[in-house]
Amino acid sequence: MPEGHSVHRIARQFETNFVGDICEASSPQGRFSDGAAVLTGRVMEECFAVGKQMFARFEGAAWLRVHLGIYGAWDFSGQVNTVLGQTGEYSRPAIEDSRGENSLTSIGAPRMARMRMAEQENTSELSEEWPPEPVGAVRLRLLTASSCADLRGPTACEVLDQAGVGAVLDRLGPDPLVVDYDEGERAFIGKVQKRRVPIGQLLMDQSVVAGIGNIYRAEMLYRARLDPYTPGDQVTSDTLREMWADWWRLLRIGVEVGQMMTIDGLEGEAYDRALRNREDRHWVYGRAGEPCRTCGTPIALAEMQNRKLYWCPRCQQ
């Protein structure tokens, strides 16, 4: 599932290439025709992300909300530039990894994962014509004079009013790129410590903290040397402060680089390999049965709420 860094990158590309322009909205697939009819012909006035949710406001107080879910992705064509804004970084070259996400023109679920969608996306290359012909099952197309964005396979794609947006935002936990650092830290600690639910489950609860998915969950728990099954009310405030600081840092790296880089200190060829391959940029995620990079103990794999959970039984005692 695309995690918070991807959605922030998507929102910032819309800010750079779509905000201030009239958007032609359509639903080539037909499943969002009514919503597209509401949005088409309107200027996109702002776009932002909170956790895994993206919100775009169009003139007339019409809002588009998108949650990519497991298989959703945006593909951009035409003029595609990005300014990463809050991180202070600008327009890095596209980075394409072994799963088909290049951090600039195809952001979301890896292409090989999208083939498991019920919609069965056709992954042939986009043509050079303008505007390009829709490829696969495009739920929503947003088109300006120079930029095109195609949305495939989202869990949620809907038009809301201001009250509807507020109701969604009220359900979300703190996002380090949105809230004040200290306020977010207090909210995160308070939400975790009032629950006896395992911390590995709480980190995936978007009402506790926004944007963390399966990969960041596993990596943050390892970096904190924390047993995933520790009840939230038994995690110390100091540990939770360190975890909030780590999420603050990792999310910014993910937005800047375009990949979830969770191993610190990589340089040269090791860094380049990590950009290209997930297996070279994580401590435990996806490494079941392989030796822990720190202690050599085989990485354990279990299921927590129907999602794969990776951890080191020794380092995370």
Q: Which residue has the higher pLDDT, 112 or 300?
A: 300
Q: What is the mean pLDDT of residues 163-190?
A: 98
- Express each pLDDT in 24-37 by its tens digit: 999 999 999 999 99
248-284 tens-digit pLDDT: 999 999 998 888 999 999 999 998 888 888 889 999 9
Question: What is the number of other CB atoms lying within 10 angstroms of the CB of residue 283?
Answer: 22
Is the pLDDT reported for residue 194 higher than 90?
Answer: yes
What confidence score (pLDDT) does residue 188 get? 98
For the chain, which residues make up each domain, given as ranges? Answer: 4-168, 174-311
Check residue 257 and give its pLDDT. 87
| Catalytic choice (12, 52, 141, 287) | 52
pLDDT computed for residue 95 by the predictor:
56
- Rounded to an integer, what distance in angstroms lies between the CA atom of residue 53 and that of residue 166? 13
52 is catalytic: yes
Helix (H, G, I), strand (E, B) or coil at 77: strand
Is residue 194 part of the annotated active site? The answer reads no
| Active-site residue flag, 141 | no
DSSP state of 179: S
Those residues whose C-beta lies under 8 Å from the C-beta of residue 140, and which sit 6 or more positions away, are 25, 26, 27, 32, 35, 36, 64, 66, 150, 151, 157
What does the DSSP assignment read for 88-120?
--B-PPP---TTS--SSSEEES-HHHHTTSTT-
pLDDT in tens, 102-157: 556 778 865 444 433 334 444 444 456 889 999 889 999 999 999 999 999 999 99
Q: What is the predicted pLDDT for the residue at 94?
A: 54
What CATH topology corresponds to 174-311?
Helicase, Ruva Protein; domain 3 (1.10.8)
Q: Which of 111, 276, 278, 307 is catalytic?
A: 307
Q: Picking from 157-161, 220-224, 252-256, which range would have the lowest pLDDT averaged per residue?
A: 252-256
Q: Please tell me the distance from the alpha carbon of residue 99 to that of residue 85, in angstroms, as a whole number.
A: 26
Give the rounded percent of residues in the chain with a pLDDT score beyond 70.
Answer: 86
Claim: this prediction has a pTM higher than 0.75: yes
Supply the DSSP string of 235-270, one letter for each residue: S-HHHHHHHHHHHHHHHHHHHHHSS---STT--HHH
User: Mean pLDDT of all residues in the chain?
Assistant: 89
* pLDDT band per the 50, 70, 90 thresholds, residue 2: confident
**pLDDT confidence tier of residue 58, bands split at 50, 70 and 90:** very high
How far is Cα 191 from Cα 39, in angstroms, rounded to an integer?
Answer: 36
Task: Tell me which of 3, 15, 101, 185 is the catalytic residue.
Answer: 3
SS3 content of the chain, % helix, strand, coil (to 5): 30, 20, 45
Written as six digits, the tokens of 110 are 């890896």
How crowded is residue 193: how many other Cβ atoms within 10 Å of its Cβ?
Answer: 17
Q: Is 242 a catalytic residue?
A: no
User: What CATH number was assigned to the domain covering residues 4-168?
Assistant: 3.20.190.10
The mean pLDDT value for 277-297 works out to 95
pLDDT of residue 64: 98
Report the share of the chain in percent with pLDDT over 90: 76
Report the candidate in 141, 160, 159 with the shortest Cα–Cα distance to residue 150: 141
Residue carrying the six token digits 């995160």: 188
